[in-house]
Amino acid sequence: MSEQDKVPAQRPEHPDFWCKRFAEGVTPWDAGCVPADFDAFVSPRQTPMNTLIPGCGSGWEAARLAAAGWPVTALDFSPVAVARAREVLAGHAVELVCADFFSYAPATPPTLIYERAFLCALPRKLWTDWAGKVAALLPSGGLLAGYFFVCEQLKGPPFGIQPEQLDTLLLPAFERIEDRPVADSIPVFAGRERWQVWRRRQDERGADR
């Protein structure tokens, strides 16, 4: 069966795929807490960053940012995931949006995009579009920070990405400024996850690339 022949609930690029899993409680990517590297990234920063979280799922990290006074938009195209996030985020000042990341146009550009289990949820045919969208959303100096599932796992989600593939996607517009293994990964990602921070480049003429 080709990808196009599959029903929407079998295609990870379709919201029905994720609605089914959230509705059934099958969410092995959900840690149920804020991971340590993300917390260590946020805690020392005295200046809040306007943050976008695509594929926010339950929204634990969005709650952490809001509690610290950061402006944050949590985005997911699954209505069931958004309903779950609404429960987690109750009482927190988070803009929760049900929309497709690839067509989303924020009123104010983010200065930080947080990545956790979003890229690895996307079929490989969408990776180039993802990189282009991230680069288009972030201004020069903006940060892409988060967790990357770096391995040879072809079948997914989660879909593994090789280091050279990630470099090909991001190095034209970004420079990597942090890269380290993750110590507190949940089982589905254990031993194959890296915390990375990428900074949006500026070309020699001062224009974004």
For residue range 24-34, list pLDDT tens digits in order: 777 777 777 89
E-strand spans in the chain? 51-54, 72-76, 95-98, 112-115, 143-149, 174-181, 193-200
Q: What is the mean pLDDT of residues 17-29?
A: 74
Q: Which two tokens stand for residue 206?
A: 């001062």
User: What is the predicted pLDDT for the residue at 15?
Assistant: 72
* Closest listed residue to residue 13, CA positions, set 24, 3, 28, 23: 3
Q: How confident is the model at residue 191 (pLDDT cuts 50, 70, 90)?
A: very high
Please give the domain boundaries of the chain with CATH numbers for all domains: 1-26+46-108 (3.40.50.150), 116-209 (3.40.50.150)
Rounded to the nearest 5 degrees, what angle is found at the Cα of 134, between the Cα atoms of 131 and 147?
A: 80
Residues 36-45 pLDDT 10s: 999 999 999 9
Look at residue 3 and tell me whether its pLDDT is greater than 60. no
d(CA 3, CA 156): 13
Is residue 142's pLDDT more than 90?
A: yes
Chain segment 53-94, per-residue pLDDT in tens: 999 989 999 999 999 999 999 999 999 999 999 999 999 999
Taking residues 204-209, what's their average pLDDT?
44
Q: Is the pTM of this model over 0.85?
A: yes
